[in-house]
Structure 1
Amino acid sequence: MKILIVEDDERLSEAVAEDLSDQNYTVETATDGITGFELAHTFHYDLILLDLMLPQLDGITLCQRLRSEGNATPVLMLTARDTTSDKVVGLDAGADDYLVKPFELQELAARTRALLRRHQTNFSPALTWGGLKLDPNSCEATYEDSDLSLSPKEYRLLEMFLRSGRRVFSRSQILDHLWAFECCPEEDTVRAHIKGLRQKLKAAGAPPDLIETVYGLGYRLKKI
């Protein structure tokens, strides 16, 4: 799942990004409101962590613009202001939750999970597809009780497929979902990760085409 952090405190942004990356989220960052709005307007994100006070475009205005154009991505507002009126302004602007600085990374992670659950209609404690099972809470994946030792990108790739059922993903869509904009690799990288994931699934006893190629279109999970 992909998260955008819009925060001008670079030390805080880096700490939050590192913590979320360790939890297998794909993270992108912006240090001003204009850049944050352009990224949120152009790319798909599952959650936006948004500072209230930003250069060029403040968080309230950014959130209002996103909502006015129909962008329903959940927004967690981050701010040092802790008065009731400030919280009301943020929530009325379209934010889904509000976290006051300074905060513990553990609390931020819990609020992140809660917002993602709330906005994922197909969310379940464990994602399954036949004998394949992935637990987002423990970040563990198995096939017929055989552990899958996945790299972070393989884990995110498998989670993306499991959350989307039979949806077909092109290589460019996979790049958009799993890599940050500033370090997006070539499409051959997707082929390499698909190949590696298939090999690990096969070694655990899964059909070799559990992730099938839809020629000319992309990849999807094979029908059970």
Structure 2
Amino acid sequence: MTEPAGDGTRVLVVEDDRPLGALLLRMFAAQGYRAELAPDGQRGLHLALSREYDVMVIDRGLPAIEGLDLLGRLRRSGMTTPALILTALGTLADRIGGLDGGADDYLVKPFEVEELLARVRVLARRRAQSAGVVPVGDARFDLVTRAVTTPGGDAVTLSGRESDLLRLLAQYPSRVFTRDEIVARIFPETATDSLVDTYVHYLRRKLGADVVRTVRGVGYRLGAL
């Protein structure tokens, strides 16, 4: 077994085989990852859309929503989180279909633990490297460190929730998020969307009125078109 290297990397495991799912959670935890398990495709879809992950590990033969169908829905929503398909379906056609269906990697069961961990490390590094720095109004936002800097090089201090909201919008700069979607992802403990408007106001006050754009009747997106 390798030395713990997860460093808090967030992993979503979508696996209906309960013993295997529990084994994967223990394996990831031992390596320093923060992993969650979804036992079917419907739960996997909900978790993936309502929480933030760095890597997804998805079985194909899932109840409720099949693995590639699940991944296709996530990709069509604009989600770019790296995904590894972990499945017993291992023909050439299966592997090609999985990669063409939106997977970043494909591993066939039974598998070696060291190989799975190595592949997840690669995907996690790819996620971190591709995150980059995004312009937010006149400032720049580092999606990895969450640091905000002005054109003059000054740092802008954001609260945890402000940072979470800005990161969500900055990850998908062309996507409009409804208030309900933002509540589910950033403020899951509250049922009101007025909190969203409040935090949008906070971001505009700190970073300028153009940092978040209101799309009337729909919700919010990053900046102006």
**TM-score of the pair, normalised by structure 2:** 0.57
- Alignment partner, residue 24 of structure 1: none
Q: Which digits, 9 at most, give the CA deviation of each residue in 1:75-105, with x for residues without a partner?
A: 31347x8xxx848576345143146553587
Partner letter of residue 112 of structure 1? Answer: A
Task: Tell which has more relative contact order, 1 or 2 (C-alpha 8 A, sep 6+).
Answer: 1
- Alignment partner, residue 212 of structure 2: 211
Alpha-carbon deviation of 1:15? 7.8
In the alignment, is the contact (CA less than 8 A) between 1:77 and 1:90 conserved in 2?
A: no
Partner letter of residue 71 of structure 1? Answer: R
Partner letter of residue 128 of structure 1? Answer: P
What 5-or-longer segments of structure 1 have no aligned partner? 22-26, 118-122
- Alignment partner, residue 62 of structure 1: 66
In the alignment, is the contact (CA less than 8 A) between 1:20 and 1:109 conserved in 2?
A: no
Does residue 91 in structure 1 map to residue 95 in structure 2?
A: yes
Does residue 5 in structure 1 map to residue 5 in structure 2?
A: no
- Alignment partner, residue 6 of structure 2: none
Instruction: Note the 1:182-197 alignment, pairs <5 A.
Output: 185-197=191-203
Does residue 71 in structure 1 map to residue 73 in structure 2?
A: yes
Separation in 1, partners of 2:180, 2:169: 15
In the alignment, is the contact (CA less than 8 A) between 2:146 and 2:167 conserved in 1?
A: no
1:33 pairs, out of 17, 22, 40, with 40
Alpha-carbon deviation of 1:130? 4.6
Alpha-carbon deviation of 1:66? 4.0
Q: Give the secondary-structure state (helix, strand or coil) at the position aligned to 2:221.
A: strand
Q: Which digits, 9 at most, give the CA deviation of each residue in 1:128-159, with x for residues without a partner?
A: 14532122343322223222333444223212
Separation in 2, partners of 1:16, 1:195: 38
In the alignment, is the contact (CA less than 8 A) between 1:134 and 1:141 conserved in 2?
A: yes
What 5-or-longer segments of structure 2 have no aligned partner? 1-9, 76-81
Q: How many residues align?
A: 195
- Alignment partner, residue 112 of structure 1: 124
Separation in 1, partners of 2:165, 2:41: 30
Separation in 2, partners of 1:138, 1:89: 40
- Alignment partner, residue 179 of structure 2: 171
Separation in 1, partners of 2:187, 2:118: 24
Separation in 2, partners of 1:143, 1:216: 31
